[in-house]
Amino acid sequence: MAKAKIAVNGYGTIGKRVADAVMAQDDMEVIGVSKTKPNYEAAVAHQKGYDIYAPAASAGAFEKAGMPVAGTIEEMVEKADLVVDCTPGGVGEENKPMYEKAGVKAIWQGGESHPLAGFSFNAASNYEGALGLTFVRVVSCNTTGLCRVIYPIDKELGVKKVRVILARRAVDPNDIKKGPINAIVPDPIKLPSHHGPDIKSVLPHINITSAAMKIPTTLMHLHTVNMEVNTDCTAEDIKKIFSSQSRIRFVGQGISSTAEIMELARDMGRPRNDMWENCIWPESITVDNNEFYFFQAIHQESITIPENVDAIRAMMELESDGAKSIEKTNKSLGF
C-alpha cells in the first residue's frame, strides 16, 4: 500500500518531532516541512533530507543560505494527503482556508481551539472517533497527560470528579525571550485554568476543574492529580490500571524530580531526550476512601508526538483499531 503523504507546516518544537516520528513509520512519510527562516533548525531539516517549503518571499534567503526550497507552503500543501499544522497557537487557524482550498486533511495542535477542528483527539480515549475525519485537533501536552490517566480510571472505576493542580514549565528550553526567571505566576489568576475544561473536549462527561501556575523551569510540567471514583479501590488497584497503559511510565529508583527524569531520557538514548510517556511516581499514589492522589510529570515537548502519529493513522484509515495503532507507533519510536 502507498504510504500516506504527510506535510508538516511549522517546523518548531512540535513540528520537528512530528516529522521524525512520521518518518519512523512504515505506513506514512513526510513529503515536506515548512520553515519561515533559514535558521539552524532549517539547516538540520535540510541535513536530514527533508524537502523544505517556505513563503515565496523567503525563497531567496534560503537559496543564499545553501538550502534551496522545494516550493511555497501552498505547493507543499497541494502535494500532501494530510498536513500536520505545528505553527504557533493561533496561527494554525489562519491556515484553514488553505487546507480547505487544497482539499487536504489537517491536524492542529493544542494551541488552537476545539471548534476549529470540531474533534479533539487522544489516542487511548477516542481513536475510533477520528476514523476518516478531515480535521482533528491533537490536544495540548497537559490535556494529553490528563486524558491518559483519566480515561482508563473512568473505564475501570468510574470517575466522580477530578481536581488538578498544574505546575507548568515557564517556557521550552530554547525560548530565550520569556520568563519568569524568579517568580511563581498563578496563570491564569481567574479560576479554573483552561486545562480541566479542555479535558471535556475529549471526555465530555468528566467532572473536572484545574488551577495552574507557571514556575521557573523549562524541563517538564508537574501535575498533582486528585480523583474521586465511584468504586472502592486500593493503591494497588490504581497502580494495576496505570501499569496496563503503555504510555504511562512509573518512575522511582532514586528519581525524585523532573530533572532526573530528563536525565533518564538522556541515559536511555531517547531522541532529543524525549519522554513520550506520562511519568508517575507510584509511591505518590495514595487512596483515602474513594479518593486518590498522585504526582505525574509531563514532558511538554514530546508527549503529544505519538498522539499525532495515531491521529494521522485514524484520519487516513490506515488502522481501524486504536490499540493496534498505539502499539505500532510505540514500537516504531522505540518505547
Helical H segments across the chain, by residue range: 13-23, 40-48, 59-64, 73-79, 91-94, 96-102, 114-117, 123-126, 141-157, 195-199, 235-243, 258-267, 305-315, 322-333
**Minimum CB distance to ligand NAD, residue 247 (Å):** 15
C-beta of 36 vs 209, nearer to ligand NAD: 36
**Minimum CB distance to ligand NAD, residue 236 (Å):** 32
Alpha-carbon Rg for the chain in angstroms: 20
What residues contact 204, with CB distance under 8 A and at least 6 apart?
Answer: none
**Minimum CB distance to ligand NAD, residue 252 (Å):** 25
Q: Describe the chain by its helix, strand, coil percentages, rounded to 5.
A: 40, 25, 40
**Minimum CB distance to ligand NAD, residue 91 (Å):** 5
What residues contact 261, with CB distance under 8 A and at least 6 apart?
Answer: 219, 220, 251, 255, 275, 279, 297, 299
C-beta of 36 vs 217, nearer to ligand NAD: 36
- Give the residue at shortest CB distance from ligand NAD: 12
**Minimum CB distance to ligand NAD, residue 38 (Å):** 11
Q: Which residues bind ligand NAD (CB under 6 A)?
A: 9-15, 34, 36, 73, 86-89, 91, 109-112, 140-141, 172, 300-301, 304
Round to whole Å and give the CA distance between 37 and 58: 7
Angle, helices 13-23 vs 40-48, to 10°: value is 10
**The three grid cell numbers given for residue 219, joined into one nine-digit string:** 524541563
Round to whole Å and give the CA distance between 188 and 315: 34
**Minimum CB distance to ligand NAD, residue 76 (Å):** 10
C-beta of 31 vs 141, nearer to ligand NAD: 141
What residues contact 27, with CB distance under 8 A and at least 6 apart?
Answer: 1, 3, 4, 313, 318, 319
C-beta of 90 vs 158, nearer to ligand NAD: 90
Pairing of strands 82-85, 105-108: parallel
Going along 120-207, which residue ranges are E strands? 120-121, 135-138, 159-169, 185-186
Phi and psi, residue 326, nearest 5°: -60, -45
Name the residues annotated as catalytic.
141
C-beta of 110 vs 322, nearer to ligand NAD: 110
**Minimum CB distance to ligand NAD, residue 90 (Å):** 8
DSSP H or E run through 278: strand 278-280
Q: State the DSSP code for 50.
A: P
C-beta of 203 vs 298, nearer to ligand NAD: 298
C-beta of 36 vs 224, nearer to ligand NAD: 36
